[in-house]
Amino acid sequence: MNNRKYKITFTCAFLALLFSGVLAYGQQANRHRSSVTLEHGSKRLGKRTDPMMGVWRNYGLGQFIHWGLYAIPGGHWDGKYYSGAAEWIRSWNEMPKNAYDELYKVFDPKAYDPKAWAKQAKDMGAKYMIITTKHHDGFCLWPSQYTDYSVAKSPYNKDIIGPMVEAYDAEGIDVYLYFSVMDWNHPGYRSKLETKEDEEAYEGFKEFTRNQLLELLAFYPSTKGLWFDGTWDQAWIQQAAFADELEEEMRSVIPGLIIGSRFRADENGKRHFDTNGDLMGDYEQGWERKMPNRIEDVNGNDWDCVMTVPENQWGYHSDWKGHVKSSVELIEMMVKAASLDGNFVINFGPDGQGNIRPEESLIAKEVGEWMESNAEAVYDCGYLDWEKQDWGYYTRNRKTGNVNLVVFNYPASGKLRVKVPKGIKIQGIDLIGTNGGTIDLEEIHRDEYFLGLPKGTDHTKPVVLVMKIVEGDAEVQGVYEKAKI
Ligand code: FHN
């Protein structure tokens, strides 16, 4: 080793040591920011490192399906329009509760075709899906032996979930079961426990909840995880010990089971993050219809973002009003999620007959067409700590180390400015997708380049460039004399 190289190696090793020390100190400092000992807090500091969670982390794109009785009225009752989220229609003053609760008597989705749904999701590029087994209304899409309020008592009289799991499994799409703890149908359900009677009734509800969850895992053992919702009620928040024990039990039924931060609160009623600020569950589940902007916003945690196509409709509403997202908007959110180490999940709300609405089918088709040629900028990809540029997002492939440049704001000059951190060498760069041609790489400044895209590049859709890089020797890179500072 010559002297100069030795110096660099030594400096790097020293910096790495210093950095890991700072990091370790940071984690310690974080851990000791509050020194509360918790019995029902977070079970782990930092990310899960097992293979199953590695698969989750690399999904990139998922599909959410909200389907239940609310799809029958589809946001209308008695000629009146409900402006809230369709799946909440039962809580609307204009909706007679008994009429809603009788809807199961007409639940008979003749067009339900799980294989076609799964094929569409596959073509869209989804690697996982989340299905509402039971939403807040309490109606179960599987024949639960613990309630009569299920498909088994409807004219359809068949399991919805089983064939869906089978169809998605067959397409290689992992299935996650959405489950609302809040249940407007169960007699023991309470949002608050104000009396002795409430407490007694709620004990029955807890047992019912446990039974249903264990039943789901027993019926559908290929389930990869549970996606919880409706866990914000005071009554549930007070059940830290019960929920903690139940979580352990569920995890023992399906080893590797993935559960996000919405399931349980700690003993002080803290949700998502415990009293010490540590994440509860395997990933952060707080990004609903909103996204982080900077890597600092996700605190080093895994996370997903679940997104509606119109502003706030999950279940089927026949009359979408207001802004409806385009496929390019959703693609941009998906790429942004990948660039910040998260998964992106697009919601679908089939109608009461089991038809996927045409607007959602179009989204699935357009996202799928883009993914067909550009998915390598999303799957297996995560954050890259390069300075954010105005033209779009960088993602880095965790398996190949390649850097992807996903361009949403196409510069009028046709040239992209790329600022590369010191010590990085660009080895090659390719335009992927339907575009082709040679890219001009011009070093305009130390560690700064202009990439000229070929004439005729189709930029009506986001353009992806894949860059191979090597972590080289900063001292020898570049054609410019280094300024002596
Ligand atoms: O109230 C629900 C809503 O209907 C929908 O299911 C979303 C999906 O994330 N979750 C709840 C609100 O957080």
Which contiguous run of DSSP H or E holds residue 164?
helix 161-170
Mean pLDDT of 188-217: 98
pLDDT, tens only, 90-103: 999 999 999 999 99
| CA of residue 350 to ligand 1 center, whole Å | 16
Q: Whose CA is nearest to atom 4 of ligand 1?
A: 87
| 50: pLDDT strictly greater than 90 | yes
| 447: pLDDT strictly greater than 90 | no
325-358 core/surface letters (b: 16 or more CB in 10 A; e: else): bebeebbbbbbbbbbbbbbbbbbbbbbbebbbbe
| CA of residue 34 to ligand 1 center, whole Å | 31
| CA of residue 470 to ligand 1 center, whole Å | 44
| 32: pLDDT strictly greater than 60 | no
List residues near ligand 1 (CB under 6 A): 66, 85, 87-88, 229, 288, 306, 314
Mean pLDDT of 7-35: 41
What is 51-380's CATH topology? TIM Barrel (3.20.20)
| 435: pLDDT strictly greater than 90 | no
Arithmetic mean of pLDDT over the chain: 91
What percentage of residues in the chain have a pLDDT greater than 70?
89
217-241 core/surface letters (b: 16 or more CB in 10 A; e: else): bebbeebbbbbbbbbebebbbbbbe
pLDDT, tens only, 225-267: 999 999 999 999 999 999 999 999 999 999 999 999 999 999 9
| CA of residue 241 to ligand 1 center, whole Å | 25
Long-range Cβ contacts of 202-211 (<8 Å, 24+ apart)? 202/235, 206/239, 206/242, 208/146, 208/147, 209/181, 209/183, 209/246, 210/246, 210/249, 211/146
Nearest-angstrom CA–CA distance, 463 and 95: 47
By most ligand atoms within 8 Å of CB, the mutation choice from 129, 181, 263, 288 for ligand 1 is 288
Domain 4-17+400-471 has CATH 2.60.40.1180: yes
Encoding tokens for residue 272? 């998502």
Atom of ligand 1 nearest to the CA of 232: 13
Q: Whose CA is nearest to atom 6 of ligand 1?
A: 314
- What is the reported pLDDT for 23? 34
pTM value? Answer: 0.91
- What is the reported pLDDT for 226? 98
Q: What angle do CA 341, 243, 255 make, to 5 degrees?
A: 60
- What is the reported pLDDT for 295? 97
DSSP for residue 264 = -
By most ligand atoms within 8 Å of CB, the mutation choice from 229, 287, 308 for ligand 1 is 229
Nearest-angstrom CA–CA distance, 398 and 400: 6
Could you tell me the residue ranges of all domains in the chain?
4-17+400-471, 51-380
| 336: pLDDT strictly greater than 60 | yes
335 with 462: CB under 8 angstroms? yes
Atom of ligand 1 nearest to the CA of 88: 4
* Dihedral sign, Cα of residue 201, residue 206, residue 207, residue 209: positive
Q: DSSP 3-state assignment of 144? A: coil
| CA of residue 87 to ligand 1 center, whole Å | 9
| 306: pLDDT strictly greater than 80 | yes
pLDDT, tens only, 146-196: 999 999 999 999 999 999 999 999 999 999 999 999 999 999 999 999 999
